[in-house]
Amino acid sequence: MALEVNYEQLLEEQKEPNTLIVDIREPSEISETGALPGSIHIPMGDVRNVFENFSEEEFQEKYGKPKPTTDTKIIFSCRSGKRSMSMQQTMQKLGYTQAHHYPGGWLEWEEKSAGRRK
């Protein structure tokens, strides 16, 4: 079963400096909505290459966060959980044992956090 976080857990993880949240939507989607707060943006098709081939320095420079190790808690998020689940499974198979995903995705985050902001 895919490792998941729900909305409440995501809110906690957004405050956790050692967790890496990755918004894997396409650049066009991000420019429409903005990326998930606390996340870095890597489009789905680039994630594997970036995780496997970037040096620690390149990763830090481009994303402003330490490059994840296979033990880093990672949370993938997309629009509504399909792509993030597939990404979670791919990265878990590659040895990222703490790869999680947020099934609610942007749509749930936006809906729930609209209420909180008011």
Ligand X SMILES: O=S(=O)([O-])[S-]
Among residues 16, 4, 36, 42, the alpha carbon closest in space to that of 51 is found at 42
101 in contact with ligand X (CB under 6 A): no
Residue list 54-83, contact with ligand X (CB under 6 A): 78-83
In a 13 Å sphere around the CA of 118, the CA atoms on its Cβ side amount to: 5
The CB-of-80 to ligand X minimum distance in angstroms stands at 4
Residue with smaller CB distance to ligand X, 59 or 87: 87
In a 13 Å sphere around the CA of 90, the CA atoms on its Cβ side amount to: 15
Residue with smaller CB distance to ligand X, 29 or 67: 29
Is 112 in contact with 7 (CB distance < 8 Å)? yes
Q: Of the candidates 68, 74, 102, 105, which one interacts with ligand X according to CB under 6 A?
A: 105
Q: Which residues bind ligand X (CB under 6 A)?
A: 78-83, 105
